[in-house]
Each structure stands twice: as structure tokens, then as C-alpha cells.
Structure 1
Amino acid sequence: MKLKLLTKLIAVITILLLPIFLLFDWLFPLTLPQASDYTQVVVAEDGTPLRNFPNKAGHWQYPITIDQVSENYLTALIAYEDQYFYLHPGVNPIALVRAFWQNINNKKVISGGSTLTMQVARIIDPHQRSIPGKIKQIFRALQLEWHLTKKEILTIYLNNAPFGGTIIGIEAASYAYLGKSSQFLSDAEAALLTVLPQAPSRLRPDRHPERAEQARNKVLNRLQQFSLWTQERVKSAKLEPVYANKLAHHLNAPLLARRLAQPKHSKIQTLVDWQLQVTAETVVKDYVSQLPKKTSAAVLVVNNKTMAIKAYIGSADFTDTKRLGHVDMISAIRSPGSTLKPFAYAMALDEGLIHSASLLTDAPRLNKHYRPENFSQGFHGPVSATDALKRSLNIPAVQLLEHLSPENFAAQLQNAGLGLHLPNQSKANLAIILGGVGIKLEELVGNYRALAINGLAATPRLTADQPLQQRYLMSPGAAWIVRQMLTDQNYRSHQANYLPLVWKTGTSYGFRDAWAVGVSDHYTIGVWLGRPDGSPMPGHHGRITAVPLLKQIYQLLPYKKPYIKRPANVSEETICWPLGTSKNLQENQQYCYQTKQAFVLDKQVPPTLTNPDIIQNPLKLNVPINPNTGKRVSINCTSINYKLQQIVLWPRELDPWLPRKWQRHRLIPATDTDCKNVQPILANGVQINSIKDKTLIPAAKAKQIAINLSANGGIGKHLWFINGQLIAETTPKQAFQYEFTKAGKYQVSVVDSLGTTDMVSVKVKM
């Protein structure tokens, strides 16, 4: 009877007070924490914070849900703070009466009797420790229970409980003190973080570890007392020492975080591999410390299949002002040097202009306004497309671009997502292939990815919600062949179907940028080194400065078995130089002067490219021959029954680099004296007459050594080159003086207006 009477009394009181509560609820509505109140945090793929930005109050606060917090922490929290949390309506009358009685008897505050809901009420609406304040707290607690679920109330506590200093919320506290997410708390750590909000300043483990241990053990004892954890489990937890990291805010991938930070988002999820990011940052910082002052670096690693950015290092050291560490060189516009060359070779393959062993010309450029030098200086004469690409020779690359056209080349790159920033809004020209344009590292990496994934360039993805965007750049066959062309020959001979990491380097004019871009089946890595202010770094270039760092980064990546096989439309063919066509289709095998193994597309074997601006430069001629003497005659010579004989020549400009037996004047039959008026096929070639090949110039006391240079023969003006650099323009037989200022080996070459060339090498001693 008494229980029924008490129940009825409570019901009557509730009915009478409910309208009053609803009125006050309408007059004094709840103000709940907003997402904008949280710290902005950019996290790695696994949720580990990379960089955080404090909220307006200067607090560090990471958003978290109940499902993301370890179960042992939730158990300890409910057991210690409010074991009846899921039963009471926000206020526990028994606990309040007990607390009131204890405080009266002891004449001081022994217990507050607050539930977790009441603690949340005090967090969202702070109050004085007084009777009016307690009434206000109780009212807010009832409001919370009226409007929210228990899970929502607990979530507010997890995100807003004070943990000392500027640390707010369980997730921020776990990272700040323990260096890990609250998802992975041990039993001892869970107990420690449970009690810490009761007295954050007095119990901070980084300042008062002994007090923190006593309070932690009190929580553990409570869990054992309630039979929630076994005695053995509690005993084991007590053996774990209390420790705490020195409070430090996260600063990994700081430039990526700065780029992604948005005021309306408290948590931004990236695709970065946290462990790779942290390790790579250390590698880059250590590597750059050995380089000249003000040097910075940028490294971007993407997964080829998903284009997820796994490591983003925009500068060598974000905090180093001397190296301009705040400048993000991944998104900066810089000159790419020779890194665009593989795209030209791929496009030439697709256009049917070349195969992998096509004969290209590395010789002085005749009648051209644009005459680039090779990085290694000097000329190499006949080179295959593969060798020209691997050695990054400039003149063969320009030769290809002339046939592709700079405008088409630029347009195809731009369509694939590579932004080309031309100086003064000028049109694309031949200089683009050697770095006469501005690009971004991230876009370059996106285009290099095409070499691994079916010729499709793609945009690197910063976040999980960014869609995969792919664009056609080259055919899958051309992509595979270019990777083969860049692959080490020894590896290729043993692993015909699979390709390892391949790379291409680049160095911008004046040693301002050193590049290396590496491609494997699974990853593409972009590396840039230089000075953000654009000042030069003499002696530092892609191969010696960027490649070693590229290799170190590649070693950090997990091993994955190669899987990209040779496309079905790629085959191998034996071809002949100088014609460049298939050996099997040669009408006369005696004109197959050199054989090469080539990768070809769709069984098409394009012939050798010739320079259309050089007259009298055919590779195949039909000349009338006297069958009795084997000498050349004229078709107007009626007294001789001639026959037409085919002869095969090398490109005219390659003569100085060929064995004598393959030079043009040796391959073309001599004139038959019995037949007059035989037209010459070759004009008299230019010939250096002032110095012989392999001349040794002896040591001299003077700091400079001068020699006279002149040449006979040839047609029109003579262009003179020293180690590939144009130094003079003369007329036939006109001599000039050149001074050597350094000891070493020099290549001296001259070319006339018809393209005939002569070359000698000299060695100078000082």
C-alpha cells in the first residue's frame, strides 16, 4: 500500500511540475556544442591526426563518436562516474541526498552527487557552486534527457570533458597524453582518462604522475568491486606505470592540412598513410640537411590504382624559415626540365613516327633558330630512341617534337590534366620539351601515372570523397614501351614481362630545379629539390640530387608483386639501321648495316625520321651503274647500258660519327670516267683543316690556350660548336681563334648549310 501511495504521489508531482518544466524549457532553451566549436583536425587514412588547428577559444578538441572509443574506457567511465546512467532521468535523487548528507556532516564538499548528464549540463552551461547553481544544473540535466538520447548525451561528454590545460575531449586527451587514439586504450590508460576530468590540473599525468596513479587505481578498484573486471585484470592494469607524452600538437603533412583546412569541417579525412608520411618526412629532412643552405624539397607518393595520395611532403621542414618551409612546392609552378620527354616519345609511338629502336640524330641543328645543348655537352651522332630517352638527350627530343608539333604536344598534355604555364602567354614552342614552361609537381605525377595504368593520366586524390578523375594521354602499348625504354637493360633481359621502378630526371635552366619522377606498377613518386625563391644550386641536378632521395622514398613503400604485363598489341621486331624498317622486309640484306631489337605497336615498323629542312638527305637512292665497272653513270650516257642500283645512306649529318665504311662518300659509287656530265650526288663536304682528330694540346704556363679554327669545303655558312654549344659562324676558309680556359676533353664540330658535318676531339692540358 505504501509503495502504491508513493508511486501515486510521484506521478501527481510530475504532472503538476511538467507544465512548469515545459514553460522554462521554452523560455531557456538548450544551447548545445556545435561542430564549429571543435578543433579543425586533418587526419590520415587510419584516423591519426596529421595537423590540428585550435578552435576560437584556443582549445584542442577532436570530434569522436561512441563507436570510435574503446569499450574498456566506456565501461570504466559509466562504472566510476554514474553506474545508473542508463536508468535515471538525468538526476539521481538518492545520490543527491547522499551527497547532501555527507557534505553537511563533514562541513565541506565530499561528493557532488552529479550524474554524467549533470556533468554535461555543467559543461554546456557553467554555473557557480551554490544552491541556485545546483538547481540550474538539475534543470539543464532534465532538459538534456528530455531532448536527447543517452547516446547523444554521452557523446557530448566524450567530446567536451576537460582534461587539463587546453585539452578538451577524450580523443584529444588520448593523443595529447598517450600519443594514440582513444580506440586503442589499455585498461590502465582507460582508468586514468576516466578520472582525469575530476581534477584535470591536479591529476595531469605529465605533471603529477604519482597523484594520477593513485586516482587511476581508485577507478580500477571500483571496477573490481562492481565485478566488472576480474581481480587478475585489475592487478595486471595496476602494474602498468603512469606515463604521459610531453604535450605537443600534431604537425605531420602540415602543408596538406593547411591546403585542406575548411572552417565548416571539424574533421577532414585524407588518404595519407600516417606511418609512411612520418617516416618520409624524417628522410627528407635528414637528406636536405646535407644540401646547400635554403634548399627545400617536395615529395608526393600516390597509389596508381586509386590515385590516393599516400605521402605529401610540400617542403623539407615546415618550421624552417631559412628554407622557406611554409612554401608548398607540390603546388608551386616550376620549370620541369626534361621530365616531359617521355610523353613526347609516347606520342611519337602512337603517331607511328618511331619504335623503341628508331634511329635519331644527335648532331648540330642546321638552319634552326632553336639550337639546344645536351646536358652532358657535345654530340653523340646516331642514337636509338631508347638511348636518347634514357640519356635524356635534348636534340633527339627536339627532333621528335618538330614532327609532333609543339602545339599538338602541349594540347594533349593539357587535355590530360597537366597545366602548362607558358611565359607571357606565349604559344607553345620547341623549348617546352626542355623545360621552357611552368608546371606543378602534383600534375606531373598525375601524368606519369599513365605509364603504369593503361596510358591514363589522373588527378591525385587528397581526400576520400574526391572522385577518381582519369584522362587519356597515351595508348596502353605506348605506355608500356616507354617504361621499357626507361628500364635498366639487365633487368629487362631477365624479366621480359614485368617492370620495376623506372624514373626520369629533369634539371631546369640554371640549376634551379632538380626533378626525379619514379613509376612502378603500384606507385608513382614525384621528387623536387631546389630553392623556393628560384635561386640556382650550381652542380645539383636531377640524377645526382633527386634520384638518391627518390630511391630512399621507394624503399619505404611496401613490397607488392608486379602485375602489369605486356599489352597484346606490343611485339618485338628486329630492325635495321639506317632505314629503321624490319629486317625481314629488307629487299637487300647488305643494306642492313646494323640490327637492333625494337618494341613496336600493332606490328607497324616506321622508317627512320629524316630532317625535311636538309636538302639532298634521302636514305635510299636509285643510281645508274655501269654493270661492267660498277661505277656510277648518267642516264643520258647512251653508250652504256646502265642498270639502276639501290644504295642506302645514313642521314647526312651523322657522317662524322660513323665508321669510314658507312660514310656517304664511301657508300656512293665513284663516277665512271667513260661517261661525261655525271651529276654529283654529294657536294664537297665541310672538313676541319686546322686541327686533327684526337689532338693533344700540351700544358702551357698561361691560364688560357688559343687555337686557330678553320674548315674547307661545304656550302654556305659554317656553324662552329664546342661541346655542343654554338660559338661562331664563319664562311668557308675563314679562320678564327678560340681560347680554352680549362683543361679537359673537347668536341669541336662544324656544319655547313647542306648539313654536312665534321668533328674532331681535342684534349687540353693547362
Structure 2
Amino acid sequence: MQAKIPFLKKKWIKGIGIITLLLLVWFIFCLPAQLFHVPYSTVVADRNNELLGARIASDGQWRFPLRNTTPDKVKTCLIEFEDHHFYQHWGVNPLAIARAAFQNIKQGHIVSGGSTLTMQTIRLARNNPRTFKEKFIEMVWATRLEFRYSKEEIMSLYVSHAPFGGNVVGLDAAAWRYFGHPAEELSWAEAAMLAVLPNAPAMIHLSKGRDLLLKKRNRLLSKLHDNGKISDSDYDLAVSEPLPQEPKPLPQIAPHLTDYFSQTRQDQYSVSTIERNIQTQVEGLVERWNQEFARSDIRNLAILVIDIERNEPIAYCGNLHFNKEQSGNQVDIIRSPRSTGSILKPFLYYVLLQEGELLPHTLVPDIPININGFAPQNFSQQFEGAVPASEAIARSLNIPTVTMLQHYSVPKFYNFLKEIGLTTLNRPASHYGLSLILGGAEGTLWDITTAYADMARSLKGLDHTYCTLTHSDPPPFTLPDLFQPGGVWQTFEAIKEVNRPEEIDWRTIPSMQTIAWKTGTSYGFRDAWAVGVTPRYAVGVWVGNATGEGKPGLVGARTAGPVMFDVFNLLPSSPWFSRPKDIFIDAEVCRLSGHLKGRFCEETDTVLILPAGLKTDVCPYHHPVTLSADGTFRLYESCINTEISIQKNWFTLPPVWEWYYKQHHPEYRTLPPFKPGCGEDSFRPMQFIYPTMNAHIHLPKQMDGSKGQMTFQLVHSNPDATVYWHLDDNYLTETKDFHKVSLTPSAGKHSITVVDGEGNAVSVSFFIE
């Protein structure tokens, strides 16, 4: 019997040990890894942590994401009001529990819970009915919480989830909803009011129980004063401060950006790259311009401003009047695909220069063209025969640009646009064709403005990184260099010469900063664009109607352009880019054609070009010509008499180019005709304007159902020439002065041939579909 007692004692001790171990394991693992399972508001701040806007949490509560620290005033008020020994206990204060029990027994009902701030944090996380069992669990979890988190972290958990009346949860939401400023700027009176609110948020509120709320606040202020926590002057000011009248609306700065973050960074607190001061100025500018555009029923406007050095947006105006659910105001235009108009032309000019396909001032044709039914027109509806490539880009001439794209190839340019970040090209290159350069594709203001910013970054020797709206998601990282400084420099030199909307010579005004800029207008006047670049900023502007409705006055240079310059006027200016060193080489070019100097070019200039430009063609437009002594005829060798003839190098363009070119260049001299009887003309004096070789033509039907006509057009270098027309070897008619003939050919392949009085002939084949 005596032997069994030690055995039972050991067994009893072992059992206690196992139970203790189980309790210890339970204690260690009783607290969930994630304490709170609640949705949070999406909150967006500027780069200096100033609030721009927020979106309510999915459960309808204004609950800002967890904060990391608690302002000293709020911390002092909470400890004084809720938990004097917060920094001394381990989650449970036995003295407070005993005192609460005594008060509850004395009063006959629960008047005090004796909960510490740690226990209240657990109660907020569990959100269960208050029972003795729940109280015990709160005490155990609170003790465990003290081992996991520091006191500062526990305080942050509490203030981030405490109820402050209505649908306001957490200190940050309460500070903004009740006082209109961040918690760090709370006064003593404001901090005291928020400290007493969670104690009974359903009983005291701004709209009810105001007297009780005021008494509790002032009682707390009095305790703080008596305990030496606040000075006499602070106390006097605090108790005299009135309670707020009603909840205030949260800031609505950059609302479309806040909306974007609510979709991409939901429930998070995002510190954006936006500069609030610049953002508000830009929004004010948007409001002023909207009043102007509204007269023409142009209802929407978007602006994006990017800091070149940091490659970060500092202003993001996706549209205007976000709260008015009409006219497409809630559409974020910055992210919306829109027809690009001419805004992509500088990128084409860049690749042509960089790859040595042309020189900056090479003449390109500006004549009527029809490429498989695609017949682009210049905005002016005029033709100039030939223009320098740089001028074609600066003036945004459509026909020369289409010709340049045809030379470069649509697939190559399409691939380049995708490489520089145009994310909206989701169809094959063949779908867009040559219209790609005139607005046949869609782009976003974000993609296009960031691409222009990347060009500027290359001139500053900066790495190519993704442009982001935050510093953390996703982090910028280096990408392959997409732009080379040489081609970018020449491109910017061309587009900084564009005439400005104010119709003044900006070069003569010292205060006017140099800006490389481009506008665009989509087909049907639906989208107006302007993008400009300085060494410090890139500014993108879109004007139009989000519904896609076109308006006659909706032209980039008249609407988006002036807005863009107003934005630049808000921004600090900077000296223009320095020319890249050790990139360019000297080259002698023909002054008239812009090509490399040919053997017959007499007027030349020495200019800086990229090394790749050396592979471009030499000038094809200067020819040696033998003239009669009086310069009225050209002569063949069989007719040359050295005593009565002269030799001269003559600048001669192709007939169609010449026809339009000389109308704008009175200095241009057409070659004189050959002397009669002096041999055949070795030059082609005629050229078809329309149709082009092997063109496929569709004849539209007339109102009566019959087929329409097509008009053949020809130019002749001799204005006095008579031209004889033949269709499929059948004589048709003759023309003088203006060589045009209208016909209705049958379906199928045809050939049109013309012969002049000197026997010169030209022919072109075409197809009627």
C-alpha cells in the first residue's frame, strides 16, 4: 500500500505536466496569425503623405489601413482615459479587474469591464457577444498578444480598428471625417474627443449625445491638466474649442487616380508619386478650360504630367467632375484607348533618322496618293509637292508621313511602337496598314506620354525604367534602351520649331521656355492630343468627349495645345537639352534637296548627321543640262555648238512633285523644253497623279444606282503641251492646260496611256473592282 503512494504521486505529477504542456501549447498557438479579418478603405496619398482621396471599404465602413504609429497626443489621451498602466501590465491588469468586479457587484449590474487596451484590441478582433467566457478568452489572448507585439504595435492595432461612431472606424478615418486633417495634426481637444468616442460610440455622436460627449472630453482634458500632461494655456484653449458640427467629406483630389488604385491596390494605403500642390493647380486649370470648351459642347479633358528625372507622374487628371455621373466624367481617359491621330509621327521620324533611312531635311513627296484605296489628305487639303522631312513632322503633314511609313514598312514601325510601350496594339500590323501613322490605331495618354518622357530621359543619360505611380509597386527597374540620344536630339530639334497656338515668336521672349511638342487630331474630330517635353517634364493632354462624339472645333493645336502650354506655365522651366557629344559627324548636304551632296549639287551646307545617315542616297535631283545661249531650250549633244550653248546643273523634281512644288516656291525653275528637231527627250516630262500603278479602285454607286466615275489626272512639265488619252489602246480625247479625264471603266484590268505632241508617252495599269 505504501509502495503505491509514490507511484500514484508520480502519475499525478506526470498528468499535471502533460496538462501544463498542453495548456502551454494551446497558449502559444491560441492567437491567430492574422488578428483582424476586415476589409479596408483604399487610401491614396501624395508623395509627401498628404491625403488625396479614399474609397470606402467593401463592408461600407470608412476604415483606413493599419497605421504603424500613434500620435503622441492621441496616445496620451487614450492611456489617461482607458488604461493608466498600459506600459506596465502584460495584457491584463489584475487591479483593474478587481476594481471592476467590486463596482459591478456594488451597483448590481455591469458598469465597468476593467479591460486594458490590449484586451479591447482582442475584443475588436473577435467581435463576439460579451460573456464571462468571452472575457476569459480575451484575457488569455491579450496576454499572448503582448508576447507577439510591442506596446506601440498593440496601440496601433487598437487605434486602427476602434469604432468612432456611425461607419467611421479607426483613428485616421475619424480624424479626416470629423476634423478634415490627418491624425498627426490633431489638437488636444480633438485628440481627447476621439479618445472618449470608442468607449460608447453608439451612445454619443456628433448628431446625438453632444452634451455627454463634450462633458466626457472636458473631463479627460481636466485629468490631463491635473496630472501635468498639458499646460494651463493648452487646457484653456482645448476646453474652449467647440465640437465639430457634422462629418466632413474626404478630400477628392485626383479622384480618377484613387479609383485606379481601388481597382489595382484595393484595401491598401498607397503613397503615390503625385505632388499635391501641382495636382491642385492642374485641376484648377482643367476647370477653367472646361468652361471654355463647354461652349463648343466639348465636355472632357485629361492631363498627365511626368517628372523626367524621377520618371514619375506628379499630376494625374483622368477627367473632370468625377462626382457628376454624366458626360462620361467618371471615365479615366488617361487609361482609355483613343484614336492617336498624328501624335505618333515623331516616333516614325526618330526611327528613320536613327536607322539612317533619311536625313533631317531630306525632301519627301507631298502629292496626291492612292494606295490600294487609301488616299490620305493633309489637314489643309493642299499639296506642296515636296517638303523637308523635319518640316513635314513639325507641320504634321499627313501625305509625306504616310510616304515615309511606306518606305520604312508598317510591320517594323508597329513592332517598334509595341517595344516603346504602346499596349493597345492588339491586332496584327496588317490590320492597321499605313493608317497606323494617322490615327488608325488607338493609344492611351499614359502610354504615349511615358514614351515621350523616355525619349527625354535618353538625352539626359538616364536608364529606361517603367514609369510608376508609387515607389513600391512595382519597383522601377532598368530596361533595354529603346531610344538613342542622337535620333532623339534631331527629333526634338524638329518638333520644338512648331508654331505655338498664341501665334507669337516664342524665340524672342526670354521667359518662354523651349518645348518639343506635337499635337494630334483623330478622324472625325473625336480626339485632340498634345504632348510636350522639356528637360524636366513631359506633359500629355487629351481633349474631347468620352462618348466618342466628334466636334468641328476639336483640333489638337486649337484645344489640347493651349492647355498643354498652360500646364507648362505652372511648372519650373529649365535650359534646353545639351547636344549629345561624340555622336554626330559633319556631312555636306545639298541645300535644296536635303540629301547628301551629289556631284552636280552646287549649293551645299555642312550639317551634323548621325553616322548611319551616310548610307542614305546622294541628291538625285540635280542634273547637268546643256542650254541654248539664251536659256530657252535644252540641247542634245548632236545640237551643241560651244559658241551658242551653256552648261548648267539644274534642280529638277519629278513631274508631279514639280507641279505642286513650284506653286509654293516661285524661285523654282522648270527645265525649258528641248529644241524642236534636236532629238528625243531623255527625261520623262509627264507623270500620272491618279491612278497609281496597279491600283485597285472601287467605283461607288450614284444616287440612281448607276456606277460612279473615276477621274484620271496627269501633270506635264510643259504647260503648253497637248496630251492625247487612250484607254486600252482606244483613243479617248485630248487635253490642254489641266489634264483631267473622267471615265466609268468596266470591271477588270485596264491600261490608260497618254502621248504628248513630242511623242513622249506614259502608261499605267489599274483594276476596277
Residues of 1 paired with 2:172 and 2:537: CA distance?
Answer: 33
* Match of residue 528, structure 1, among 532, 536, 542: 542
Separation of aligned partners in 1, 2:98 and 2:713: 113
1:517 aligns with 2:531: yes
1:77 match: secondary structure:
helix
Q: Secondary structure in 1 aligned to 2:303?
A: strand
**Residues 276 and 485 (structure 1 numbering): CA distance in 2 closer, same or farther, change over 3 Å?**
same
1:331-381 per-residue CA deviation (whole Å, 9 max, x = no partner) reads: 322210000111122222223344444444433348885431111222244
2:519 corresponds to 1:505: yes
Correspondence 1:311 to 2:315: yes
Match in the other structure for 2:490: 481
Q: What letter is aligned with 1:164? A: G
> In 2, Cα distance between the equivalents of 1:262 and 1:386?
41
- Name the counterpart of 1:646: 649
Tell me the secondary structure at the aligned position of residue 191 of structure 1. helix
Q: How much does 1:232 deviate? A: 3.1
**Alignment match, 1:188:** 189
Choose from 429, 436, 451 the match for 2:433. Answer: 429
Q: Which amino acid aligns with 1:460?
A: C
The CA distance in 2 between the partners of 1:286 and 1:266, in whole Å, is 33
The question of whether the paired residues in 2 share the 8 Å contact of 1:422 and 1:436 is answered with no
- In 2, the alpha carbon distance for the partners of 1:350 and 1:321 equals 47
Give per-residue Cα distances to partners, 1:530-581, cap 9 Å, x unaligned: 3334332232121222223333443444x25346322123589996542325
Output aligned runs, 1:589-738, within 5 Å.
Answer: 591-592=602-603, 600-601=609-610, 618-624=620-626, 632-637=634-639, 645-650=648-653, 652=655, 653-658=657-662, 662-665=667-670, 667-668=671-672, 671=674, 676-677=678-679, 679=681, 681=683, 683=685, 713=721, 732=735
Contact 2:628 2:634 in 1 (8 A): yes
Q: Identity of paired residues, percent?
A: 29
Between the aligned partners of 1:268 and 1:637, the Cα distance in structure 2 is 85
Contact 1:335 1:435 in 2 (8 A): yes
Does the CA-based 8 Å contact 2:180-2:250 persist in structure 1? no
Match of 1:161 in 2: 162
Worse-superposed segment, 378-387 or 511-520: 378-387
Instruction: Determine if contact 1:269/1:463 at 8 Å carries over to the other structure.
Output: yes
Q: 1:41 to 1:664 in 2, by over 3 A?
A: same
Q: Is residue 306 of structure 2 the alignment partner of residue 302 of structure 1? A: yes
Map of 1:120 onto structure 2: 121
In structure 2, what is the equivalent of residue 410 of structure 1?
414
CA separation in 1, counterparts of 2:725 and 2:260?
A: 57
Q: What SS does structure 2 have at the residue aligned with 1:532?
A: coil
Please state how far the C-alpha of 1:195 moved relative to its aligned partner: 1.9
* Counterparts in 2 of 1:716 and 1:337: CA distance versus 1, 3 Å: farther
1:200 aligns with 2:204: no
1:239-277 CA distance string (max 9 Å, x none): 544336634356554544444436885434433334444
Structure 2 Cα separation of the partners of residues 170 and 717 of structure 1: 88
- SS of the residue 1:284 aligns to: helix
User: What is the CA–CA distance in structure 2 between the aligned matches of 1:587 and 1:276, rounded to whole Å?
Assistant: 57
Structure 2 length normalisation: TM-score? Answer: 0.75
In structure 2, relative to structure 1, the CA distance for the partners of 1:363 and 1:596 (3 Å cut) is: farther
CA distance in 1, matches of 2:198, 2:363: 76
2:470 maps to: 463
Residues 410 and 429, structure 2, Cα contact 8 Å, conserved in 1: no
Q: Please, which of 567, 573, 581 is the counterpart of residue 580 of structure 2?
A: 567
What amino acid is aligned across from residue 579 of structure 2 in structure 1? R
Of residues 352, 356, 362, the one that matches 1:352 is 356
For residues 276 and 440 of structure 2, the distance between their equivalents in structure 1, rounded to whole angstroms, comes to 36
Instruction: State which of 272, 275, 285 in structure 2 corresponds to 1:273.
Output: 275
Does the 8 Å CA contact 2:534/2:574 hold for their aligned counterparts? Answer: no
Q: How does 1:231-270 map to 2 (within 5 A)?
A: 231-243=232-244, 246-248=247-249, 252-260=253-261, 261=263, 266-270=268-272
Q: Is the 8 A contact 2:406 2:434 kept in 1?
A: yes
Q: Deviations over 1:608-655 (max 9, x none)?
A: 898xxxxxxx51112345789996432245876888643233454234
Q: Give the structure-1-normalised TM-score.
A: 0.75
For the structure 1 residues 22 and 294, does the alpha-carbon distance in structure 2 shift closer, same or farther, using more than 3 Å as the test?
farther
Relative distance call for 1:267 and 1:623 in structure 2 (3 A) is same
With over 3 angstroms needed to count, the CA separation of the structure-2 counterparts of 1:715 and 1:227, relative to structure 1, is: farther
What's the secondary structure of 2:417's corresponding residue? helix
Q: Deviations over 1:268-327 (max 9, x none)?
A: 443333444455445435544643658433332222233323333333344433323343
Aligned AA (2:243):
V
Cα 1:597–1:483 change in 2 (3 A) is farther
* Distance (Å, rounded) in 1 between the aligned partners of 2:206 and 2:593: 79
2:391 to 387, 390, 410: 387
1:334 aligned residue (335, 338, 350): 338
- For the 8 Å contact 2:179–2:248, the answer to whether it is kept is no
Please name the residue that 2:405 is paired with. Answer: 401
